[in-house]
Amino acid sequence: MPKIQIQRFSTGLYWLAAAASALMLGYFIAAQSPTPFEIGILAAAAILFWKKPLWGIYVILFLPVIGELSRIPYLGENGILLSDLIIALFIGIWLIKKILTSEEMQPNIFSKPLLFFSLIGIFSLIQSLLFLKPTDVLSGSFYLVRFIEYTLLALTIPDLVNSKKQIDHIILASIISAVLLAIGGFIQLLVYPDLGNLVEFGWDPHKYRLVSTWLDPNFIGGFLAFMLMIILAHLLYTKRLNQKILLLIVISILGVALFLTYSRSAYIAFAAGLLVLGILKSRKLIIISILIAILGLSLSLRAQQRVGELTQSITAFITNSSTNADPTAQLRIQSWNQTLSLIQKRPIFGSGYNTLRYVKFDEGFVSETDIHSASGSDSSILTILATTGILGIIPFLLLYWQLLKSSFLSWKNKTSPPFKKALGLGLFSGTIALIVHATFVNSLLFPQIMIFLWIYAGVVNNGILRESIFE
């Protein structure tokens, strides 16, 4: 593509990102009427991001540890997360510094599909004013802003990170964050194993399953499957014995946490990612994992029951029938069928980004719009198809194609150093795991997962990778 066209795409995304950040922060201030303390926190964060932008990445990576506990009851039915505001502030500071220094946005493989998807998402919301209330459309617009902001993390990393040491610190921060989430899940199982009393707040009544601070075993399970691919890939390329021991400890912690989610979608995602990782790098890894899985199943009746139901559910998914499916699978198939009917009604531009909860309510599919599960369709692809149509799903899939392509080439390139090969292989297999997971859960649009996914996308596409402490 000619340089002038690349610059136009970059400039368009530049101003779109500025508008998105201003919209999120501006509306929060107007709707929330923040206290002096809250303003002070945002001001302190802004100063930190200005002086030490890399610290902004660390802060963002650790925000998922507090998960749903940071939800703010504003902007839409279910409010926003603290990470939505912090990332908006981080992106805003990054853009302001680029404007003041007259620095052009560097070309990035994600710029073009992200810009196209954003423009189609905006148009889908505008046309949804024909059949939805303006307040409903406004609510959906903030979730489009969220998607733009989180994906932009993949553009900030190559722009801000300029040393191998900084890359190492980002990877370490992500691993520590994952371990803290797993430990938080162990504590939750001991002190708060039954989420039944959260039903009135729109949450599902999960019992005796690891949910950590995300309050959902499927999402936390999908995230753990993703991170395990990243860490397993590092283990396969690490030469230092002390690094291998530490990584094995981390893998054990995250593996046990994944097991205790009793999430079949997470189990399938992990199996898919592991299969890719094993075929491309180590067949022994598949055999060892199968033996560990058999041992785990032999020790847990709950896991045996969940895996047993999985066989029936797979048959039901293939035949698109709920006859032999368990209650959870029946609800999932019902959700798919409802979403497919919505896609048939508006196949080109959809119903408007993240307006599914309101369309479902109008169609009588849900009785309330403030139920968390009402915003999706138990499938990220179907959700995007239903809300942005065929024109929206094309650039959306291109985003993930670029992610898979770049990570695979990073691993496959014979000139890549071991650390870059590990990152490429880990992100490739981890993304495959998430895509499989997103067939059953709306995980590709889940904000906490997007943080890790797009930061890793930026890391893998950083041109400075040569060596690392992990080698």
Residue that the structure tokens 């959906």 belong to:
140
CA distance to 28, 62, 414, per residue, from 55 (Å):
23, 11, 33
The pLDDT assigned to 404 comes to 95
160 or 106, higher pLDDT: 160
Distances (CA, A) of 425 to 104, 265, 340, 371, 404: 31, 22, 34, 37, 10
| Token output for 412 | 């496959």
- Model confidence at 428: pLDDT above 90: yes
Tokens read off for 461: 């596409």
Q: Where do the H-state alpha helices sit in 346-462?
A: 356-363, 380-412, 418-437, 447-460
Taking the alpha carbons at both ends of the chain, their separation in whole angstroms is 36
Instruction: Evaluate if residue 322 carries a pLDDT over 60.
Output: no
CB contact burial 410-441 (16+ within 10 A = b; e otherwise): bbeeeebebbbbbbbbbbbbbbbbbbbbbbbb
CA atoms within 13 A on the CB side of 328: 17
Q: How confident is the model at residue 314 (pLDDT cuts 50, 70, 90)?
A: low
Burial category of 107 from C-beta neighbours within 10 Å (exposed 0-12, middle 13-18, buried 19 and up):
middle
Residue 197 has pLDDT above 60, yes or no: yes
User: What pLDDT band is residue 360 in, cutting at 50, 70 and 90?
Assistant: confident
Report the mean per-residue pLDDT for the chain: 83
Proportion of the chain above pLDDT 90, given as a percent: 39
Q: Is the pLDDT of residue 470 over 90?
A: no
Tokens describing residue 209: 């399953």
pLDDT at residue 466 in the model:
41
Q: How far is CA 283 from CA 236, 254, 288, 411, 451, in A?
A: 11, 21, 9, 17, 30
Are 16 and 148 in contact by the 8 Å Cβ rule? The answer is yes
pLDDT tens per residue, range 250-269? 999 999 999 999 998 999 99
Rounded to whole angstroms, the Cα distance separating 336 from 382 reads 8
Please list the alpha-helical segments (H only) found in 128-263.
134-160, 164-191, 217-237, 241-260
Whether 355 and 397 have beta carbons less than 8 Å apart is answered as no
What separation in angstroms does the CA of 320 have from each of 16, 288, 314, 332, 437?
A: 40, 34, 9, 10, 18
Residue pLDDT, tens place only, 95-144 = 888 878 777 666 788 888 998 998 999 999 999 888 888 888 887 788 88
- pLDDT one-digit tens code per residue, 377-388: 778 999 999 999
* Global pTM value: 0.89
What's the rounded Cα separation, in Å, for the pair 338 and 385?
Answer: 13
Dump strand ranges (E) for 13-156: none
pLDDT for 469 beyond 50: no
Predicted confidence band of residue 471 (pLDDT cuts 50, 70, 90) = very low
For the ranges 37-41, 182-186, 418-422, the lowest mean pLDDT is seen at: 37-41
For the chain, how many residues are written?
471
- When mean pLDDT is compared across 60-64, 271-275, 321-325, 466-470, the lowest value belongs to 466-470
- 307: closest CA among 273, 299, 337? 299
Q: Which of 70-74, 118-122, 350-354 has the lowest mean pLDDT?
A: 70-74
Provide the pLDDT for residue 362: 74
Task: Give the residues across from 72 on adjacent strands.
Answer: 80
Distance CA 232, CA 61 (A): 20
